[in-house]
Amino acid sequence: MMRVGVVGATGYAGLELVRLLLRHPKVKMTALTAERYVGQPIWKVFPSVMKETDLVCQPLEVEPLAQACDFLFTALPHKAAMDVVPGFIQRALKVVDLSADFRLTDPNAYEEWYEPHTAPALLKNAVYGIPELHREEIKKTFLVANPGCYPTSIILALAPALKNKLIDHRTIIADSKSGVSGAGRSAVLTSLFTEVSENFKAYKVAEHRHTPEIEQELSRLAGERVVITFTPHLVPMKRGILSTIYASLERPYSENEILDIYHNFYANEKFVRIHPPDILPGTADVLGSNYCDIGLKIDKRNKRLILLSAIDNLVKGASGQAVQNMNLMLGLEESLGIDIVPLYP
């Protein structure tokens, strides 16, 4: 049984990893870290896992973790991740890192949007972890940079259109809406129930840090430099992202033509569901699952393609995709532990 640890287990992505790993048939959770809760069993922090595990939160120390685990998930804030991941790699652990630190292949881009990179040598080995697009590289690497939640929803929705040159990439606008868990488990005013409920607003308009990783992947797909407009919004709900994406069509395709292209592109993908024209994706339809649901419409009056893409930001947008990557890295069946029916209503 492969021994797996979660570094940063008491954030929401961390807890979601715990939820998934507890039911994974081929790996065993052997270590959890959480600086704030050292010495406490995780079920005291989250009574949802009472009677499920007796694991106790330990400090983030490389050596004990390297001894206790064969594989690690690092669910830390950016910067904190690149401080510790090299140590784990040196001790021959495989790592899926859920932070932004290894997502950008270009350290200058990282510096532009974040700060100077302190482990640039690892960037060439890090694979951007969307299995539907980079499966073979993921299987071979020891370090996966798990994608951001918004990027996952946007890149999966645009991939078939860009790959097949259906759209003019200079016209791409991604208007994304996220539940509040995307802001993490931090005690900040702007995440209070009283500030968020019955409220809807945009934030970080045209300046969100997920922009460069979205553009990096879209550029790969398009074969040329893609620059988009990206606007994130906060929705009064706990989980879920819906991205509404606009782009001008290169020629007047019908909806059925494009649907065929999408069905073919994702024909063998278990976790992508292409919706029929009369059913639009909603975040509640993927709750708790690793699905990415994609729908599309054409605005005939403008020759615009409108893509709609729904994920659970903590599953396909974070921890579910992370487990999917782990399965590939360990040579396991890709859907183990994440083959979950959405919880509705």
Active site positions, annotated: 149
Residues 291-320 that bind its own copies (CB under 8 A): 291, 293, 297-302, 304, 306, 308, 310
How many whole angstroms separate alpha carbon 289 and alpha carbon 344?
11
Q: Is 242 in the site for its own copies (CB under 8 A)?
A: yes
Give the residue carrying structure tokens 């640039």: 120
User: Among the candidate windows 27-35, 61-69, 130-138, 228-236, which touches its own copies by CB under 8 A?
Assistant: 228-236
Q: Is 131 in the site for its own copies (CB under 8 A)?
A: no
Minimum CB separation from its own copies for residue 341, in Å? 5
- State the DSSP code for 97: E
195, 196, 201, 203 alpha-carbon torsion, rounded to 10°: 80
Q: Which helix (H) or strand (E) holds 231?
A: strand 229-234
Among 2, 3, 22, 56, binds its own copies (CB under 8 A): 22
Query: How far apart, in Å, are the Cα atoms of 296 and each of 72, 149, 161, 235?
Result: 37, 20, 11, 21
2-7 and 27-33 strand pairing: parallel
Residues 146-165 that bind its own copies (CB under 8 A): none
Q: Any long-range contacts for 264-269 (C-beta under 8 Å, 24+ apart)?
A: 264/160, 265/159, 265/160, 265/163, 265/164, 266/132, 266/160, 266/294, 269/132
First-to-final CA distance of the chain? 35
SS3 state of residue 121: helix
Nearer to its own copies, 83 or 333 (CB): 333
Minimum CB separation from its own copies for residue 202, in Å? 5
Minimum CB separation from its own copies for residue 299, in Å? 4
Residues 28-87 that bind its own copies (CB under 8 A): 44, 46-52
Among 3, 79, 163, 273, binds its own copies (CB under 8 A): 273
SS3 state of residue 31: strand
Nearer to its own copies, 95 or 214 (CB): 214
The count of residues interacting with its own copies (CB under 8 A) is 85
Residues 175-214 that bind its own copies (CB under 8 A): 175, 177, 179-181, 185, 187-189, 191-203, 205-206
Residue 64 Cα to chain centre, angstroms = 28
Q: Is 121 in the site for its own copies (CB under 8 A)?
A: no
Among 97, 132, 285, 334, binds its own copies (CB under 8 A): 285
Which token pair is 249? 């069509």
Nearer to its own copies, 42 or 89 (CB): 42
Among 33, 283, 321, 327, binds its own copies (CB under 8 A): 283
The residue among 343, 340, 322 whose CA lies nearest residue 27 is 322
Q: Is 25 in the site for its own copies (CB under 8 A)?
A: no
Contact (Cβ atoms closer than 8 angstroms) between residue 235 and residue 178: yes
Q: Is 132 in the site for its own copies (CB under 8 A)?
A: no
Q: Is 27 in the site for its own copies (CB under 8 A)?
A: no
Among 26, 139, 209, 238, binds its own copies (CB under 8 A): 238
